[in-house]
Chains A and B, each alone.
Chain A
Amino acid sequence: MIQVLDVVIAGLLLGGLYALIAMGLSLQYGVARVLNVSHGEFIMLGGMTTWMLYSGFHINPLLAVAICGPGAFLLGFILHRTMFKRLLALSASPGIFESNSMLASFGLLFIIQNIAFMIWGPEIRGYSYLAFPVDLGGALFGANRLVTLGFAIAIGLAFYTFLARTRMGKAIRAAAQDPVTAGLLGVDINLVLALCFGFGAAMASIAGVLISISYPVNATMGLEYTIIAIIVVVLGGLGSIPGSFIGGFVLGIVGSIVTSIEPGLALVAYYVIFMLLLLVKPTGILGR
């Protein structure tokens, strides 16, 4: 029983991070139609900035959430208002915009990664924070990971509430379903898309902060998290924020179960799920 609890909770701990990362990408791809390959670079920026703040200025990593989140939001918002808005205006169709924006985000990936290289170098970075065991029903877990899970769930739920209960949230959901009609009904589409891109970047950055609490970080860490985020977004259903949230936890638990049997098969398991889903339910868990 303890072993099952062990595996499930370990999966939830990892899944919380995956959920947060994927919700950000889901906003960017599902609403703003930008398959942001540089999503992981915002995670890296969050992680590296937190390490810098903690090791250089002794700023609590949990406080870094309040610095990295708004900072990344601003960066994402400006990027969309400048680069992606211009690309959107120049693209003849949504399909062309999707491919153009994906290529542009590839460029963004290299630019951000190389700037990070110049600032922090390629060395692996980390710090020790709340690294002590906590007993949960006989199963031991790191206190830092439990804090990470708590933050991931709180931020995920807060954002879901924002989408479900606020006027701006309604505008975002409308834009995700039908941007042309939403525009005709008075929604400022360009503002909504930029907000979504900004929120996506903020979530990635906050995920980066939380990752740095439990795992080492470096300037090249971004791409592997982008791949995981893409898998989770497809798993949850394109454009579905709750789908991404659930998909993140599903992938985390599957990864944890497989790792407990054979660690080398964790990534294989992710791709097997991905392929099975595309064959059985291509729209994803909550996709339409």
Chain B
Amino acid sequence: MSENGSTELAESENKKEERMSTKHLTRREFIRGAALTGAGLVVAACAPAPTPPPPQVVKETVVVAGTPQIVEKIITPTPVPTAVPTKAAVKDKIVVGMSRPLSGPLAQIGDSAFKPIYETWVKEVNDAGGIQVKELNKKLPIELKVYDDKSDVGTMTRLTEKLIVEDKVDFLWPGCGTSFIFAQAPIANKYGYVLVTAEGGATSIKDMLPSLPYVFVTLSFSDWYQLPVFADLMAEKGAKTAFIAYIADLHGIEYSGVAGIEFPKKGINILGVKSLPPDIKDLSPVIKEAKASNADIFCCFAYPDQIMPATGTSMELGYNPKAWLGGPGVNFGFYATTFGPAIEGVMGFTTFSAKQSATAKALADKLYTGKPRELQDWWGHPLYWAGLEMWKQAIEKAGTLNQEKIRDVLTKEHFNTVLGDTWFVNGLLAKESHTGEIGQWQKDQFEVVGPKNKATAALVYPKPAWPTK
């Protein structure tokens, strides 16, 4: 049947070719073709003029402090003289570019972490008229240009370069995740774009920050200053042993590495360390091993995809260590909506509680009132909000959109933000500006329990056992 079909098809193709080869072009067809070509040329002529070539990065030898050094400079081609007003003269908005995980596995973090912050914050700033830029003598609203990197680091780096080189956005806002900011920071720095990061720790990038003067990290992370505070809390309660499960990526490696340094300092022995692949389905062998170790503390340094089943499996297997710490994941509202009151005593990373101050309460009300509880993030949200406030205040203090001048303000000045007095130290948000490091679920609230001078509740240790029914 198929043979017949293919023979018929071949015959019909031959006939078509014969018809085409013997057919002559009529006058009407010629005129129609010429008219279409002409119309095409008119449309092409009406298209916008080609954009000028992108800025080129050239290496130049300069003398800094008596020493010749090679630096990279961005050379923008000289614009062609024109009678129309220049871009600066008609500047009516600040365009901010972002490469974000709108889809893919990281979308679940991006959507509940930085996204609700920048959406709320930009609306609030624009409703107030925008950001005052002194040299232009006016307020400019913010316009966001957001691309989807599909949770892929390679795509994010390409999109970041596109935003800078092709789209020529005025400012760059950050990608999502530790490995993403690790890859994005050198690009922003190369092109001289200020980058105030959001989601993502920086243990690995911390030592590089002196050579990345345009990069500013807002989020607290493992040794800045979460795990030292956690180790202090545990040692004070008499914890002696720990079992660690960590996701096999930069985030997990950073946290487990820092725990390996900080825990022994406080006399806490690590009885077992287990890496988790991102696609792990059944965590019961790991939880059973942790249970068999009888360690006082269980730490799961992973993402919600692993934290949620680790919690569920701990409940199912009746695994009740004296302290159960996990993150990121425990700090989100969806953790509470998923497990309900069963999470009493579970610990995670945090920054603030609405109880801490009127400012903190105002921020919590602004971000969370009337919205699904799943979107709450007690760790990152205030830090991202503060980062945006610092960025805005730096532009206003500098009075210009010049990245270098804004960078200098961010480096040297103190800012009044939702966290209070806030500033950067060597590219990291000063730990004195953090309003909390370790949180614990107590009576359906994620309380700050460490450091003790910023705590909103006393640490409950040992953690209550999971419910048995």
Contact = CB atoms under 8 A, between A and B. Distances in A.
B120 interface: no
A127 B337 CA distance: 8
B280 A259 contact: yes
Nearest to A264: B277
Nearest to A228: B281
Interface string B283-320: 11110110000000000000011001100110111100
Interface in A208-265: 214-216, 218, 220, 224, 255-256, 259-260, 263-264
B315 A123 contact: no
Contacts, number: 123
Contacts of A14: 281-282
A200 interface: no
B277 A266 contact: yes
A126 B103 contact: no
Interface stretch (B191-199, B338-346, B397-405, B445-453): B338-346
A128 B315 contact: yes
Contacts of A263: 274-277, 280, 283, 285-286
Contacts of B111: 121-123
Interface string A103-135: 000000000000001000111111110011100
B109 to A, nearest CB: 9
B312 A214 contact: yes
A274 B43 CA distance: 56
B284 A216 contact: no
B285 A10 contact: yes
| Central interface residue in B103, B108, B281, B286, by most chain A CB within 10 Å | B281
A80 to B, nearest CB: 22
Contact of B2 (A7, A93, A214, A260): A93
B50 interface: no
B18 interface: no
A143 B285 contact: no
Nearest to B313: A142
Interface of A: 6-7, 10, 13-14, 55, 92-93, 117, 121-128, 131-133, 140-145, 214-216, 218, 220, 224, 255-256, 259-260, 263-264, 266-267
Interface of B: 2, 5-6, 102-105, 107-108, 110-112, 248, 274-277, 279-286, 288-289, 304-305, 308-309, 312-313, 315-318, 334, 337-340, 342, 374, 466-469
